[in-house]
Amino acid sequence: MKRTTETIIVKSIDQIPSLEEIRKMPRTKTLKIIFENSVQNQRESVGQNFKNQLQGFQVGIHLLNPEINIAKLITDQEIEEHQLFFENCAKDYRKLGEKLIFKLAEQLKVTIDSDCPWITFNQFLRDNKQTGKLEEWRYFFHGFHCGFKNKKNGQIIEVPLVFSLEFGDLDPYFFTNFIKSTPYYKPLPVEIYEDYADGKQINDKMISLGKFERINSNFENHFGIVVKDREKVEIKEYKPEEHTTKRKFSFWKFIGIKF
């Protein structure tokens, strides 16, 4: 279902919709408030108040144009009603991610480092060999992920490489894009409009329901979210100084920091 946009042009503050009116707005509609010259100087303060008061909404204060854009996010009730669907999506994500990355390792003739797979695949970033084909998939190494896109059905998945042999980390944006691009989930039982913001709502609620949980990554102060009902694997901390000595590879050099 496509969203519609209601546009309101305001010449005075009393023309701005109330919080109560905005809260009644359905998810199928977005609101664009355009401020004319006489009230443009109040746009940021109005927008900040909306951000503070409208929990469960995405409020965007445009940096250049005199406007505020408001969209209602997926609700806790919707997520709770479809928690089994999201849990199964997370399990599918994990299963497919693991399958693809091991197939790719076999094709590239490398053995995945079980402590930190990123170490194994980083060489393809450094050697400018980050993209290629794997059966009906195209892959692309970038950052801490390897992205895959199915050339036949358009399905996309980003496989994380910094959680040891755990390949089910659910980045909010990547998770919702996986759901929306997976043919056999369609039609979706509940609409996802805002890829990152709705994804974060889903993750947060699923954690509170005990269906998802947070995990540490191989790197200090970096965390992930995975489905709780899974076969758990040990995730080890990556120590750059050890691998610099043993493998003649520097994590800090890779991210552009020179000593």
Residue 128 has pLDDT above 80, yes or no: no
The alpha-helical segments, DSSP class H, found in 114-228 are 117-126, 172-181, 195-208
Q: How wide is the angle at C-alpha 128 spanned by C-alphas 124 and 129, nearest 5°?
A: 50
Q: Residues 165-204, buried b or exposed e (16+ Cβ, 10 A)? A: bbbbbbbbbbbbbbbbbbeebeeeebebbbbebbbbbbbe
Strand order in the sheet with 4-10: 4-10, 29-35, 67-72, 57-61
Count of other CB atoms within 10 angstroms of residue 108:
15
Residue 245 has pLDDT above 90, yes or no: no
Residues 52-109: tens digit of each pLDDT: 999 999 999 999 999 999 999 999 999 999 999 999 999 999 999 999 999 999 999 9
- Which pTM does this prediction carry? 0.89
Residue 2 pLDDT class (50, 70, 90 cuts): confident
159 forms beta bridges with 146
Residue 129 pLDDT class (50, 70, 90 cuts): confident
- What pLDDT does 157 receive? 98
Q: Identify which of 62, 56, 61, 49 has the alpha carbon closest to the alpha carbon of residue 18.
A: 49
Residue 254 has pLDDT above 50, yes or no: no
Residue 251 pLDDT class (50, 70, 90 cuts): very low
Residues 193-210: tens digit of each pLDDT: 999 999 999 999 999 999
Residue 258 has pLDDT above 50, yes or no: no
- What pLDDT does 244 receive? 53
Average pLDDT of the residues in 247-257: 45
Q: Which two tokens stand for residue 131?
A: 């993209």
Please provide the average confidence, as pLDDT, over all residues in the chain: 92
Residues 16-64: tens digit of each pLDDT: 999 999 999 999 999 999 999 999 999 999 999 999 999 999 999 999 9
Query: Strand, coil or helix: what is 157?
Result: strand
